[in-house]
């Protein structure tokens, strides 16, 4: 949390990577801002600086620290999260200032967490932290508070701490934002949707860039922000107001959402387990929950075989790509017929799962010419944004 960690090493590389992560943070903030359109979403989003988001609800505040990670860096561990620069340290600083307010503290992680029992339990419920982890967290709170943290404060912090892995990845976040905006404004040409995305992103980046140099120190900035939020009169701190992304500011630029699918996309993006690209495409196309569950199960069934083929001889990889191309052609053709007949995405899924003809796509019997396995392969391709469950 850059706004609260002045004097601490950020752990971020310089140059192009830093700029890419700065923009990624803005895009994630934009998704939270779009969440103000939903009934259960925040009323206001505050963009701080690079790695800091604050959500204001009618009855609470949520402080969010965002951490990105390269795919090659491995899974997140509880020990890493609670080490210097791991994210929990910055949230401890927020707790030092805001612990007497109704608020929670959330660590957003790009990528998965370790399956080890210690990490899995901590992610599920932070109050399950073991003795070694509690000692580290107590040290972080002691540094943040400027005095020895009590056992009660450690317990209180852990009860308010949330770990959220698998946030939208740097690779996928542009498509996610554009899909949501496309559903919010279905009548807009795609070029206009992309322009709207750019315009909103520019507003978020402007809020991120609002300088707080006039306020000495990150803690002082947070205190000023809280003073602004709790004040009966507005504009106590002009710079804090500049970071305010409200629902009213958003609806002045985006058509009011009367599309339930768009709101569902936003809600699922903000949940503990964000929707995959496959699920988002099915939601956007209007699929039922049952079809989404079935598609997710079929994808999981076929993914292991697909990865096995990709790891094998080059010839197998070529054969797999041939099967993928044939499956896509079959699905796109069936989607075209469904659209012409006025059928839904649920009808499309039913056709694909019962039609024998999709089996002809598997000329080399890579999937044993199994109809459901081939639909599962199609779901894998949809998860890679190669099939959108609508007529091309």
Task: Of 40, 62, 41, 66, give the one whose Cα is nearest residue 52.
Answer: 66
Q: pTM above the 0.75 mark? A: no
- Express as a percent the part of the chain with pLDDT over 70: 80
pLDDT in tens, 19-52: 777 788 899 999 999 988 888 888 889 887 434 7
pLDDT in tens, 49-69: 434 788 888 888 899 999 988
pLDDT in tens, 269-288: 666 556 677 887 888 788 88
Contacts of 387 (CB under 8 A, 6+ apart): 281, 328, 331, 332, 378, 381
pLDDT in tens, 286-337: 888 899 989 989 998 898 898 888 888 888 888 999 999 999 999 999 999 9
Between residues 23 and 210, which one has the greater pLDDT? 23
Task: Of 157, 202, 213, 197, give the one whose Cα is nearest residue 47.
Answer: 202
pLDDT in tens, 108-151: 998 888 888 899 999 999 999 999 999 999 999 999 999 999 99
Pairing label, strands 161-167, 103-110: parallel
For range 92-100, the mean pLDDT: 90
Q: What tokens were used for 188?
A: 């807009």
- Express as a percent the part of the chain with pLDDT over 90: 43
Which residue ranges make up each domain of the chain? 2-262, 277-383
**Per residue in 5-16, is it b (16+ CB within 10 Å) or e — as a string?**
beebeeeeeeee
């Amino acid at each position: 949390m850059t706004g609260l960690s002045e004097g601490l090493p950020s752990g971020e590389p310089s140059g192009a990577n830093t700029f890419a992560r700065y923009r990624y943070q803005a895009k994630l903030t934009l998704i939270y801002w779009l969440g103000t359109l939903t009934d259960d979403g925040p009323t206001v989003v505050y963009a701080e600086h690079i790695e800091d988001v604050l959500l204001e609800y009618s009855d609470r505040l949520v402080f969010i620290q965002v951490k990105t990670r390269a795919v090659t860096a491995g899974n997140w561990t509880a020990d890493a999260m609670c080490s210097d620069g791991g994210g929990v340290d910055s949230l401890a600083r927020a707790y030092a200032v805001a612990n007497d307010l109704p608020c929670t503290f959330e660590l957003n992680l790009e990528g998965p967490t370790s399956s080890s029992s210690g990490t899995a339990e901590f992610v599920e419920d932070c109050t399950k932290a073991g003795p070694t982890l509690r000692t580290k967290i107590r040290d972080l709170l002691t540094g943040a508070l400027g005095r020895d943290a009590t056992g009660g404060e450690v317990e209180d912090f852990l009860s308010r701490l949330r770990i959220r892995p698998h946030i939208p990845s740097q690779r996928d976040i542009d498509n996610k934002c554009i899909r949501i905006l496309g559903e919010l404004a279905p009548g807009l040409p795609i070029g206009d949707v992309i322009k709207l995305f750019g315009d909103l992103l520019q507003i978020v980046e402007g809020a991120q860039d609002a300088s707080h140099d006039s306020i000495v120190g990150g803690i002082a900035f947070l205190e000023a922000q809280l003073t602004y939020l709790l004040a009966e009169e507005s504009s106590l701190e002009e710079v804090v107001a500049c970071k305010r992304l409200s629902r009213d500011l958003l609806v002045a630029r985006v058509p009011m959402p009367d599309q339930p699918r768009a709101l569902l996309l936003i809600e699922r993006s903000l949940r503990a387990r964000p929707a995959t690209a496959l699920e988002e495409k099915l939601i956007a196309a209007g699929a039922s929950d049952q079809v989404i569950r079935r598609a997710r199960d079929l994808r999981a069934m076929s993914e292991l075989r697909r990865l096995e083929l990709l790891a094998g001889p080059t010839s197998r990889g070529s054969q797999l790509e041939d099967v993928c191309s044939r499956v896509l052609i079959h699905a796109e053709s069936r989607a075209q017929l469904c659209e012409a007949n006025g059928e839904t995405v649920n009808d499309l899924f039913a056709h694909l799962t019962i039609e024998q003809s999709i089996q002809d796509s598997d000329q080399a019997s890579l999937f044993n010419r199994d109809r459901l396995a081939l639909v599962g392969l199609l779901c894998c391709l949809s998860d890679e944004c190669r099939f959108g469950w609508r007529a091309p």
